[in-house]
Chain A
């Protein structure tokens, strides 16, 4: 029963050229285009300005720690330090800021006057990092790295240990190119579209065309139909993501820095989550047309705002709040973390809890609202 149902759906899918194109070929075309565009450059060679106005002990520590990014720690291959070709310059705020405006600098770190005094007397104070958002690949990385440095300096202060214990995270251990950044985004996009286009749409069609009704007239248990439907989508999802990763690896030698098992785990979680979201759309949409509209309504904002094509950190603050509500944001973030050690937006625990939460809530709501028959 299960095998026949599963096979039937598989045949129906495999004989649909449109579906095949969008699930398998489309992401690959995407990778190829972006791979050719971004694949070339291997290291960051951006120029960064540092404004050091602080007279106390903390400011200079911070400045030299950032400048130290170009130096490769002993025992590591200098070729693998992506920041080793960066250029740092110091100067006053107005000069450097105008250089940043003109595009001569890609980032600027401002360590304000009185920082040390303020912190020593117990008042919090912040370092300003200005990044040229047009350098899409570099900007989020640099922000993340500086964030880490500032954090470790801060920890040094509160724990009243020597300042020199600061560390730079292992982000630097590999070469990160545009294509490496893009692959997690493409994976997340494919998974979302699997849930929306390959889960919601066919289910709505099966209901409006009376296929579900016909199945109901047989002894086939409903749960069996649903399980085979989900199993089939899960297979497509895993197949699709594996193909994308494999092609990325073979054609462009993309980075997978984290463990494969963890990667598969994150993929599995997000595939299930988007299948549940797809079921929810199928549950609330009455017709194929309204299903289509809802699908696009979900697809487009998430596709462009959740960090698939450009980083979430570049968005205005109010939009970041909106983006926090998108499940895809957490998918992209978790995949980027596990694949390329990208600076995290959320901790893995948050990514796990939020995605599990979506999965559970969507499943419950789908069960609550799902209709087996049109009208």
Chain B
């Protein structure tokens, strides 16, 4: 079953094609991510799917309803966390969740929703007194109050410290376990790799890669990185001539060998180490990441 279906979506702001012909589908129960730098068109796309912004071209279907023609039945069945949500400052967590509960036909119990985002201890705290991470989780709680089929999370962890980020990841994982469809945007590749079943990598309003995170990495990268500390016993030209090696990079005493054949390169490297009568310190074999994919496809890093 398809939860979200987007065809050839376009949004133009003056001379800028903010969203430039985006198409994808999200299956029910899937955690789908849009990954890209700021200004890539992630939020604009999200808000068009949510019915908050009118597209300049294309079609959107959510849960079988045409968003452009009939958004009201969709509103009852989706939950939205906007990129920045500020609500009544002096209302408490419980009061705010209760307020939003009153807008929907079917709702979960207020305390259950607060429990889902682990805000039990802050039920009576005014929203202005919550930390950034707690406020984001409150926004998610509000997005969950109508027990939605699809939850939209727009940059849910931007600006959060690592602990608050991990706490938000737990919330998303729990949603997935409950069989919810989650649509999220992020510019943290680690977040996308960790949370998403599938990722659309976007840049300048276009999808430049779409698929499972690991598949995306494998499709674009057949090299693996071998990394170790090197205090000059192993000269670069020797390393470069090892079998399978594509590229060698030295940075701050760390040598990275990009290899197309991990086994052959590793064996040859070990032999070389023994022959030179030296020792490998901090040796790791690491896979390429989505960051590497983005770098390869655009020539830029996501957080430039």
Listed by A's residue number, 10 A-B pairs whose Cβ atoms lie within 8 Å are A11-B90, A11-B91, A11-B95, A12-B90, A210-B86, A213-B52, A214-B82, A217-B50, A218-B104, A220-B103
Contact B90 A210 (CB under 8 A): no
Main secondary structure, interface of B, reads: loop
Binding site for B on A (CB under 8 A): 1, 3-5, 8-9, 11-12, 15-16, 209-211, 213-214, 216-220
Contact A218 B95 (CB under 8 A): no
Verify if B100 is at the interface (C-beta below 8 Å from A).
yes
Question: Given the known A-B contacts A209-B86, A213-B82, are A218 and B75 also in contact in the complex, defined by CB atoms under 8 Å?
Answer: yes
Contact A217 B102 (CB under 8 A): no
Verify if B84 is at the interface (C-beta below 8 Å from A).
yes
Task: Select B85's contact among A4, A11, A214, beta carbons within 8 Å.
Answer: A214
Contact A15 B52 (CB under 8 A): no
**Neighbouring A residues of B87 by C-beta, 8 Å:** 211, 214
**Neighbouring A residues of B102 by C-beta, 8 Å:** 1, 3-5
Verify if B80 is at the interface (C-beta below 8 Å from A).
yes
Contact B90 A217 (CB under 8 A): no
Q: How far is the CA of A79 from the CA of B85 in the complex (A)?
A: 64
Question: Given the known A-B contacts A8-B99, A12-B91, are A217 and B75 also in contact in the complex, defined by CB atoms under 8 Å?
Answer: yes
- Nearest to B126 among chain A residues (CB) is A15
Verify if B72 is at the interface (C-beta below 8 Å from A).
yes
Contact A8 B52 (CB under 8 A): no
Query: B205 → chain A, closest Cβ, in Å?
Result: 18
Contact B82 A210 (CB under 8 A): yes
Contact B103 A210 (CB under 8 A): no
Q: How far is the CA of A16 from the CA of B105 in the complex (A)?
A: 31
Query: B3 → chain A, closest Cβ, in Å?
Result: 17
B87-120 CB mask vs A (1 if < 8 Å, else 0) is 1111100011011111111000000000000000
Contact B88 A219 (CB under 8 A): no
**Neighbouring B residues of A214 by C-beta, 8 Å:** 80, 82, 85, 87
Contact B82 A8 (CB under 8 A): no
- Nearest to A3 among chain B residues (CB) is B102
Q: How far is the CA of A211 from the CA of B82 in the complex (A)?
A: 10
Q: How far is the CA of A220 from the CA of B98 in the complex (A)?
A: 14
Q: How far is the CA of A217 from the CA of B80 in the complex (A)?
A: 7
Contact A5 B99 (CB under 8 A): yes
Query: B166 → chain A, closest Cβ, in Å?
Result: 26
**Neighbouring A residues of B50 by C-beta, 8 Å:** 217
What is the size category of the interface that chain B forms with chain A? 20 to 34
Contact A219 B75 (CB under 8 A): yes
Verify if B158 is at the interface (C-beta below 8 Å from A).
no
- Nearest to B105 among chain A residues (CB) is A219
Query: A167 → chain B, closest Cβ, in Å?
Result: 57
Contact B90 A16 (CB under 8 A): yes
Contact A211 B86 (CB under 8 A): yes
**Neighbouring B residues of A213 by C-beta, 8 Å:** 52, 82
Sample of 12 further A-B pairs with CB below 8 A, known A5-B99, A219-B72? A1-B103, A11-B95, A12-B91, A15-B126, A210-B82, A210-B85, A210-B86, A211-B87, A214-B80, A214-B82, A217-B51, A218-B104
Contact A211 B103 (CB under 8 A): no
**Neighbouring B residues of A218 by C-beta, 8 Å:** 75, 100, 103-104
Identify which of residues 113-163 in chain B touch chain A, using a CB-to-CB cut-off of 8 Å: 126
Contact A219 B104 (CB under 8 A): yes
Contact B98 A4 (CB under 8 A): yes
**Neighbouring B residues of A1 by C-beta, 8 Å:** 102-103
Query: B99 → chain A, closest Cβ, in Å?
Result: 5
Contact B90 A219 (CB under 8 A): no
Verify if B229 is at the interface (C-beta below 8 Å from A).
no
Contact B91 A210 (CB under 8 A): no
Question: Given the known A-B contacts A1-B102, A217-B75, A218-B75, are A8 and B84 also in contact in the complex, defined by CB atoms under 8 Å?
Answer: no
**Neighbouring A residues of B220 by C-beta, 8 Å:** none
Verify if B76 is at the interface (C-beta below 8 Å from A).
yes
Contact A15 B103 (CB under 8 A): no
**Neighbouring A residues of B84 by C-beta, 8 Å:** 209-210
Instruction: List 7 A-B pairs, minimum CB-CB distance, nearest first.
Output: A4-B102, A15-B90, A209-B86, A218-B103, A217-B80, A220-B103, A12-B88
**Neighbouring A residues of B85 by C-beta, 8 Å:** 210, 214
Contact A217 B52 (CB under 8 A): yes
Query: B189 → chain A, closest Cβ, in Å?
Result: 27
Q: How far is the CA of A8 from the CA of B88 in the complex (A)?
A: 8
Contact A219 B82 (CB under 8 A): no
Q: How far is the CA of A214 from the CA of B87 in the complex (A)?
A: 8
Q: How far is the CA of A220 from the CA of B75 in the complex (A)?
A: 9
Q: How far is the CA of A216 from the CA of B50 in the complex (A)?
A: 10
**Neighbouring A residues of B89 by C-beta, 8 Å:** 12
Query: A35 → chain B, closest Cβ, in Å?
Result: 33
**Neighbouring B residues of A219 by C-beta, 8 Å:** 72, 75-76, 103-105
- Nearest to B145 among chain A residues (CB) is A218
**Neighbouring B residues of A11 by C-beta, 8 Å:** 88, 90-91, 95
Which of B82, B96, B99 has the most CB atoms of chain A within a 10 A radius of its CB?
B99
Query: B110 → chain A, closest Cβ, in Å?
Result: 11
Contact B52 A211 (CB under 8 A): no
- Nearest to B13 among chain A residues (CB) is A375
Question: Given the known A-B contacts A11-B91, A16-B90, are A216 and B100 also in contact in the complex, defined by CB atoms under 8 Å?
Answer: no
**Neighbouring A residues of B72 by C-beta, 8 Å:** 219
Query: A236 → chain B, closest Cβ, in Å?
Result: 15
Contact B75 A8 (CB under 8 A): no
Q: How far is the CA of A5 from the CA of B103 in the complex (A)?
A: 9
Q: How far is the CA of A214 from the CA of B135 in the complex (A)?
A: 14
Q: How far is the CA of A211 from the CA of B86 in the complex (A)?
A: 6
**Neighbouring B residues of A9 by C-beta, 8 Å:** 88
Q: How far is the CA of A12 from the CA of B90 in the complex (A)?
A: 5
- Nearest to A375 among chain B residues (CB) is B13
Query: A252 → chain B, closest Cβ, in Å?
Result: 34
Contact B95 A8 (CB under 8 A): yes
Q: How far is the CA of A97 from the CA of B84 in the complex (A)?
A: 70
Query: A3 → chain B, closest Cβ, in Å?
Result: 8
